[in-house]
Amino acid sequence: MDVLDLTRLQFAVVTIYHYLFVPVSISLASAAAGFQIAWIRTANEKYLHLTKFTGKLLIVTFAVGVVTGLVQEFQFGLGWSAFARFYGDVFGPTLAIEGMLAFFLEATFLALWYFGWDRLPRWLHTATIVVVAVGTLLSAYIILAANSFMQNPVAYALDPETGRAHLTSFTELLTNEVVLAAFPHTMGGAAMAGGGLLMAIGIWRVSADAAFRTLSRAGAWMMLLGGAVTAISGDHLGKVMTAVQPMKMAAAEALYETTTSAPFSVFAIGELGHDRPFFSIEIPGLLSFLGTGSFGGTVQGIDDLQALYTAQYGPGSYVPMIPVAFWTFRLMIGAGVLGMALAAYHLWSSWSFPRRVPLLPSFLQPGGGTPGWLRRFALLAPLLPAAANTFGWVFTETARQPWLAFGISKVADGISPGLTGAEVIASLAGFTLVYGLLAVAWCRLVVHLSRKPLTPAVEAADEPDPVPAY
């Protein structure tokens, strides 16, 4: 591998890793705020325990998200200085505003909330976690706006002298049609990720404390509703993508020829070449519907787009890696749907339904209790959304290739000019090692925290210090 490939690999590794923790933090912040508001409104101690429990998970997840997010901010200068110079005018202010506006809010108010239980009036204390939740959403929106510029550059002018992009309107950058579609899609995915974690822990621990049943159901609702938002907004995002990056959607179906009433394959065996694969399950017209809103719509094919781009941008390949695009797109949808199904089944089986429904087999009875197999498969609840989020990002970013910012800057032109392979190998090794250790520590801690009793009497015995301990 040359320096470019190594640097791309490094960017992929640190970004994917960062994004395993971010969606969990985003949704746990909202979940903690929700539990605390429920506690204040109902005075039910159960919600207080769940607030504190969710808060601990949030703190440890947020910590990993912060330290890996810091790497993201430096990345553009470290490995991609040419891109930073070219794009700094657009991306720099966006990052600076995210830091000043949202990140300060999150960090300061999370500490105020976590350490401030007995120092702040109750309403003010509740307000601090609400501020944290709002901060995470703001952060996500601004960063997605920066990413959406790379998918669909808007609000910029190319400086004819320096050849660099200059920002012309921040409002326009923030209202890019791609970010408007991508934000609900990404936040739905985030709700699924945090919800999955809560649901799994709730299912495992349901015998220890009745509050865990509430936790598992709250998590399942987060997954189900998050999934619904993801699906609806995903449909919309698909149409926006078909309009602004037709190559991406053509690659998602490995559709080489421009087709009217294009089918969508659920599954395929064989090469994704110009000939249709030798076996595939296809739903006629569905791709056209996803892309254009009509089963009879026309979807542009890879070959025609390649010819179009060659005429527009000069010779070169404008086709992303088709198998990666094809399979990540399907795995994203599949993992998401499976996660939703798991959540729906859990909600159904743990529902307090007064009587049996005639004719239904026992495992399909509402309120039949959580069956043993679901307890064993509970681990899938956080893993499936994590997989769906990851596949989604890999699809979005790799099917944009060879572009960094679509139509104006290529990946190969963005790398730091002086960077050497030895440096990237050294840093990649460092990231792999440290990130691996972080993952081990995070998993151990989450398991440990989940095993502790929820009730504060026992918790107090664990923490001998009179002042809130770390």
Partner 1 sequence: MITFWFAVLVLAWVLYFVLEGFDFGVGILTFLGRDEHERGAALRTIGPFWDGNEVWLVAAVGVTFAAFPDWYAALMSALYLPMVAILLLLAIRGVALEFRGKHDTPSWRRRADLLLAVSSTGIVLLWGAVLGILVDGLALGADGEVTGTGLGRSLSPLLTPAAGLGALAALLGAVLLGATFLALRTTGPVRRRARDVARHTGTAGAVTLLLIGIGTGSRLTLAAAAVVFAAGLLARRTREGLSFAAVALSVAATVVAVFTAHGDVVLRSTLDPAWSLTRSGAAAGPEALRLITIAGVLILPGVLVYQAWSYWVFRRRVASERVAS
Of residues 401-430, those binding partner 1 (CB under 8 A): 416-420, 422-423, 426-427, 430
User: Closer CB to partner 1, residue 299 or residue 424?
Assistant: 424
User: Alpha-carbon distance 96 to 103, whole Å?
Assistant: 10
Q: Of 374, 396, 380, whose CA–CA distance to 338 is shortest?
A: 380
Smallest distance from partner 1 to CB 59, Å: 6
Binding mask 188-227 for partner 1 (x = CB under 8 A): ----------------------------------------
376 binds partner 1 (CB under 8 A): no
Stretch that binds partner 1, among 25-33, 92-100, 277-285, 372-380 (CB under 8 A): 92-100
Smallest distance from partner 1 to CB 61, Å: 10
Place of tokens 């003010």: 124
Query: For partner 1, which residue of 5, 9, 42, 96 counts as binding (CB under 8 A)?
Result: 96
User: Closer CB to partner 1, residue 72 or residue 365?
Assistant: 72
Task: Say how many C-beta atoms besides its own lie within 10 A of residue 99's C-beta.
Answer: 13
User: Closer CB to partner 1, residue 251 or residue 405?
Assistant: 405
Smallest distance from partner 1 to CB 303, Å: 38
- Give just the sign of the alpha carbon dihedral 189, 190, 191, 193: positive
Positions 160 through 179 that interact with partner 1 (CB under 8 A):
166-170
Query: For partner 1, which residue of 22, 31, 33, 90 counts as binding (CB under 8 A)?
Result: 90
Secondary structure (DSSP) of 366-389:
TT----HHHHHGGGHHHHHHHHHH
User: Closer CB to partner 1, residue 67 or residue 331?
Assistant: 67
Binding mask 334-363 for partner 1 (x = CB under 8 A): ------------------------------
Backbone angles phi, psi at 403, to 5 degrees: -90, 145
Give the single-character DSSP code of 164: -
Task: Say how many C-beta atoms besides its own lie within 10 A of residue 53's C-beta.
Answer: 24
- CA-based radius of gyration for the chain: 24
Q: How far is CA 19 from CA 59, 105, 213, 416, 419, in A?
A: 16, 20, 28, 24, 26
Smallest distance from partner 1 to CB 272, Å: 37
Query: For partner 1, which residue of 97, 231, 333, 337 counts as binding (CB under 8 A)?
Result: 97
Positions 15 through 74 that interact with partner 1 (CB under 8 A):
56, 59-60, 62-64, 66-68, 70-71, 73-74
Positions 112 through 171 that interact with partner 1 (CB under 8 A):
112, 114-116, 119-120, 159, 166-170
Q: Which long-range contacts (CB under 8 A, 24 or more apart) does 13-17 make?
A: 13/428, 13/431, 13/432, 13/435, 14/68, 14/71, 14/72, 14/75, 14/431, 14/435, 15/72, 15/393, 15/397, 16/390, 16/393, 16/394, 17/68, 17/435
Positions 446 through 465 that interact with partner 1 (CB under 8 A):
448-449, 462-465
User: Alpha-carbon distance 368 to 469, whole Å?
Assistant: 41
Query: For partner 1, which residue of 122, 274, 356, 444 counts as binding (CB under 8 A)?
Result: 444
Contact call for residues 21 and 58 (beta carbons, < 8 A): no
Contact call for residues 408 and 158 (beta carbons, < 8 A): yes
User: Closer CB to partner 1, residue 221 or residue 442?
Assistant: 442
# of chain residues touching partner 1 (CB under 8 A): 84
Smallest distance from partner 1 to CB 377, Å: 27
Length of the chain: 470
Beta bridge partner(s), residue 281: 267
User: Closer CB to partner 1, residue 105 or residue 381?
Assistant: 105
Smallest distance from partner 1 to CB 17, Å: 11
Smallest distance from partner 1 to CB 2, Å: 15
Smallest distance from partner 1 to CB 30, Å: 19
AA letter at 165:
A
Stretch that binds partner 1, among 100-108, 220-228, 361-369, 397-405 (CB under 8 A): 100-108
Helix (H, G, I), strand (E, B), or coil: what is residue 259?
strand
